[in-house]
Amino acid sequence: MADAREESLATPFGEYWITPLDGVAPEHLPYSIRILLENVLRNQDGHRVTARQVEALVGWGSAASYRTAMELTPSRAFLHDTNGVPALVDLAAMRDAMEALGGDPTTVNPSIPAELVVDHSVIADFFGTADARERNVAREYERNAERYRFLKWGQRALDGFEVVPPGSGIMHQVNLERLARVVEVRDGWAFPDVCLGTDSHTTMVNGLGVLGWGIGGIDAEAVMLGETFGMLVPRVVGFRLTGALPPATTATDLVLTVTQMLRAHGVVGSFVEFFGEGVSHLSLADRATIANMSPESGATCIYFPIDDETIRYLRFTGRPPERVALVEAYAKRQGLWHRPEHEAAYTEVIELDLGTVVASLAGPRRPQDRVPLTDARASHRRTLPDLLPAIPDGPTDPAQRFTVALPEGPVDLGHGAVAIAAITSCTNTSNPAVMIAAGLFARNAVAAGLRSKPWVKTTLSPGSLVVTDYLDRAGLSAPLDALGFTTAGYGCMTCIGASGPLIPAVQDAVRTEGIAVAAVLSGNRNFDGRINPDVRMNYLASPPLVIAYALAGTMDIDLATEPLGVDAAGRPVRMADLWPGQEEIAAIVEQTLSPEMFAAAYRDVFAGDDRWQNLDAPTGAVFDWDPESTYIRHPPFFEGMSAEAGAPGDIQGARVLALLGDSITTDHISPAGAIPAASVAGRYLAERGVAPAALNTYASRRGNHEVMMRGCFANVRLRNRLLPGVEGGYTRNFLAGGVQQTIFDAAQEYRAAGVPLVVIGGKEYGTGSSRDWAAKAPALLGVRVVLAESFERIHRANLIGMGVLPLQFAPGDSAESLGLSGTETIDVLGLADPGAERVTIRADDRVFDVDVRLDTPRERELFQHGGVMSFVLRHQRARAGIAAEPR
C-alpha cells in the first residue's frame, strides 16, 4: 500500500499542500469514503492509524472492509451549551486531577479548534408580544449567569476554545451559515473539514459538503484533547433522487418522507449519500434540511457532495473569496466534486421520485412516523386512545369535551386541541423558502380575517438573525406578529423542550381535567415528554402547516377539505386558499436575501451583546469550584481512579432497575425539559433554596451531577414494565420486598448495598439526542449493563464511554421471548475474557447467551479503562511522565 504523498494545489489566492487521492482512491468509492481515505492517509502513524485501515478504505465495499476498525482524526469539535458545559466541567476536573498528580494543568487543552454555540438555554416563557424576545433573554441571563461565567472562564483558560454567545442563533444554522470551512487550512495544508459535534444534528453541514456527525460529549472531550475517534468502516447507502418536488410541498415534507424511508430500510451505523439528477433540483437549504434529520433516520450522516450549488451558497453567505476558490479547486482535484452521471458502488441503493412527495406531518410520538396530511385527522383518531391519560374509574372517553375559561371567554375543547404551535428549530428555520412560505401564509390569513385560536401558545424562534432580517425586508414580520408568531428568541427553544408553560387555563385543564393536548412544531424531535410535560401528542410539520394548525386549534380536522374559518363576508377560508405559489416564494427569496445580511449577522459572532461582555468571569488555569453551586459542581468521575486500567470481571447478583420497551430515547433516560417542582430533582433544588420559578431545565443543570442523577429515567411518560400502568421515573425495590420507589431512591439503596444494576430494553435503545448524561447518569446510579435488542449508534458509544457494558440479545431473542419479568437476579458470566464477543447471562433459572457490543479494539480498550475520561487522563498522565495516582 502506498504511503501518503505530498503535492501542491494551486488556487488564485495561493498554494497549499494536500494529500492527493489520485492513484490511490478507486473510481467506485463514494465521496464520503474518499474523505475518510484522505484522513487516514494524511494521519497514518503506524500506531493508531495504520496501513491496514488505508487498505480497508481502498478496498471499501467488501465484507472484510466493513469489519475493519479505523481511527478518524477530526479537524474540529463542535459543541452547544447544555452538552458543552458538562464537557467543560469534565475538562476542568481533569485539570484539577492533573495538578493533583504534580503535572501542568494547562496540558489539558484542546489540540484542535473547539467551538461552542450557546443556543439551548433560552426558554419561551413569554410569547406573542413585541417584547417577548427581550424578556426571554433577560430571564435567560437571570437563570444562567453562573453557567455563562463558567463558559467565559473556559474561553479564557483554554487555547483554541471559542464561544458564540447567546442570542446569535442555533448552532447548526450558525455552523452552516458561518463556521463551516468545507476545506480546512492549517500550517499550509488543505484538507476536508471533518466536524464532530456534541449534538446529533451536527449532520446539518453534510448538506454543504462537510463530513460530520454527532458524538457524545465524553467522546468530544477525547477528540478535543487529541485522541482519534474509533469507528468501523461504514456501509454507505446511496439515495438516488429523480424528478422535482410538486407544488404546495416543502422541504419539510421531503425530509419526513426520507426519514420514514431510511428508518424502514435500516441504516443505523451507516452513511447515506445522495446522488442522481434530482440532487440538482434541491437548493443548499433543502439539502441541509434533509441532512439535519439524519439522526431521526438512524444514519450516522447524510452526505451531499460538493457542487456548483455549494459554491453558490458559500458566496451567498459571505464566505471569503479565497475560501470559496479553495473549496472548488480542492474538490475537483480530489474527486470530491459531484458528477450527476456517476454512481458509486454503494452498499445498497434507495430511490425516490421527488414528484411523489406529498404534504405530511410526523407524529404523534416519533419523527419517522410520517402521516400524509390527507390522513392526518384519521391517524389522530386512531392513535388518540393509546395516548389518553389513565383515570381511576376506567378508560377516558376520546370524545369528551371540556370547558376552559380563557381570559377571552370560555371555550369548548376536546382531546387533541393544539396547545403549542411553534416555528422553531434549525431544521426548518435555516430554509428561507419555507420561512417565506410561512410569512406569506400568515399574510394571506390575516388578510382573510383569520387569527390563531386563543388557547394556542404561538412562538417563532429562528436559528439565525438573518431570518428576522429577510422577514422584515419582505414585510412578513407584521402578519406573523398578528397571528402570535412574534420572535421569542434565537435558540432551540420548543424543539429542545424549552417551550415554557402552556397558557395557564389550558395547563390547569390538562392537569385537573385530564385533557390530552397536542403540539405542532417545525422541529426534528417529537418524542414522549420532550416538548412539554403537559403535552401528550407532538407533531412535526412545515412552518406554514404550523400556522394552519394554530388557526384550526385542533388536530381533529381535515385541513385538505375543511375550512380554517370564515372571512369578513362569511365565506369559508380553506388552507388551499392561503397557500402561496412557488413562483411568489422564489421571487421574494431572490429579492430579499443578500450576502450582506450574513456578513452583518456574523461580523462579531464571538463578541456577544452587552450582557455577555459585562459578565464577570473567573480567571486562572484551574477553576475555583463553589461547593454551594446548584449549577456547576466538581464531578465524581475521577474519584478512586487507579493508576492503571483493571481487568473486568463477571457481574453477579445484579438486579433490574428498569424493564423497558422499544424506542427508548435519550429523552426518556435523561430529560432535557423543565424540572417539575414535585420531582426528585425539584425537591433536591428546593432543599437548597431554589425557588420553583428558578428550577430551570434539566438541560441547563447538566453541570451538576446531583441534579442529573435525580433526573435519570425521570421522564413523565416513561413506562417501566416492572410497574404496569404507572408512568414516570419509578421502579420496584427488591431489597425492600418489591415496593414502588423512585428510580433514584431505589438505586441509592442498591448502591449502598453493593448491588450492581441492569437496565433491559427493546429495539432502538437510545434513540435521539447525543446526550452524554443518558449514559453518565445511569453509570452514577450504579448501572453496569444495558441489555437491549438493538442500540442507536451514539448512545451505545456513550455507554461504553462511561464504562457501562452494552449487551445485545441474540437475533430472535428478547426479554419477552425469554420470559424475563425483571424480577430476576442477574449474573453476567464470561467478562474476564477481554476479547469475548459473547457472554452468558443467568437470570434465576434461565441461561442464555448475548452479544457483547464492543465493536472495535478502541471500544474494548475504553471499556477496560472504565470509560473515556479515565482513559484520557491516564494517557495525559503518561505523556507528562507522571507515575503517581491522582489524589
Secondary structure (H, E, C), 111-170: CCCEEEECCCCCCCCCCCCCCHHHHHHHHHHHHHHHHHHHHHHHHHHCCCEEEECCCCEC
Q: Are β-strands 535-540 and 517-521 bridged in parallel, bridged antiparallel, or unpaired?
A: parallel
**HSE-up (13 A, CA, CB side) for residue 887:** 6
Separation CA 73–CA 324 (nearest Å): 24
Which stretches within 423-553 are classed as H helix?
426-429, 432-447, 465-473, 477-482, 504-513, 543-552
Residue for cell digits 410539520?
541
Cα–Cα distances (Å) from 827 to 752, 796, 843, in that order, read 19, 21, 7
CATH architecture designation of domain 361-601 = 2-Layer Sandwich (3.30)
Q: Is the pTM of this model over 0.85?
A: yes
Q: Quick check: 530 and 540 in contact, CB under 8 A?
A: no
Domain ranges of the chain: 7-72, 75-228+611-641, 361-601, 651-671+711-865
Query: Within 10 Å of residue 48's Cβ, how many Cβ atoms?
Result: 16
Low-confidence ranges of the chain (pLDDT < 70): 1-4, 391-395, 883-887
pLDDT digits (tens, 9 = 90+) for 468-516: 999 999 999 999 999 999 999 999 999 988 999 999 999 999 999 999 9
Rg (the chain; Cα; Å) = 26
Express the helix, strand and coil content of the chain in percent, nearest 5 each. Answer: 40, 20, 45
Beta-carbon contacts of 311 under 8 Å, excluding residues fewer than 6 positions away, are 324, 327, 328
Domains 75-228+611-641 and 361-601 share a fold: yes
If one looks up domain 651-671+711-865 in CATH, what number appears? 3.20.19.10
pLDDT at position 877 is 80
Separation CA 18–CA 188 (nearest Å): 9
If one looks up domain 75-228+611-641 in CATH, what number appears? 3.30.499.10
Amino acid at 740: Q
pLDDT at position 210 is 98
pLDDT at position 543 is 97
Name the DSSP class of 698: T
Measured at the CA of 767, the angle between CA 764 and CA 771, to 5 degrees, comes to: 140
Beta-carbon contacts of 798 under 8 Å, excluding residues fewer than 6 positions away, are 216, 218, 219, 766, 770, 771, 772, 774, 775, 776
Q: Taking the chain, what is the end-to-end CA distance rounded to the nearest angstrom? A: 47
> Rounded to the nearest 5°, which phi and psi values hold at 826?
-110, 130
C-alpha cell at 662: 422499544
Cα–Cα distances (Å) from 380 to 229, 244, 261, in that order, read 43, 30, 21
Q: Are β-strands 211-214 and 370-372 bridged in parallel, bridged antiparallel, or unpaired?
A: unpaired
pLDDT at position 1 is 43
Query: Within 10 Å of residue 498's Cβ, how many Cβ atoms?
Result: 30
Q: Quick check: 220 and 77 in contact, CB under 8 A?
A: yes
**HSE-up (13 A, CA, CB side) for residue 404:** 30
Cis peptide leading into 364, omega within 30 of 0?
A: yes
C-alpha cell at 361: 406531518
Separation CA 214–CA 201 (nearest Å): 6
535-540: strand order across its sheet = 370-372, 360-362, 535-540, 517-521, 418-423, 457-460
The enclosing H or E element of 388 equals none
Query: Within 10 Å of residue 669's Cβ, how many Cβ atoms?
Result: 28
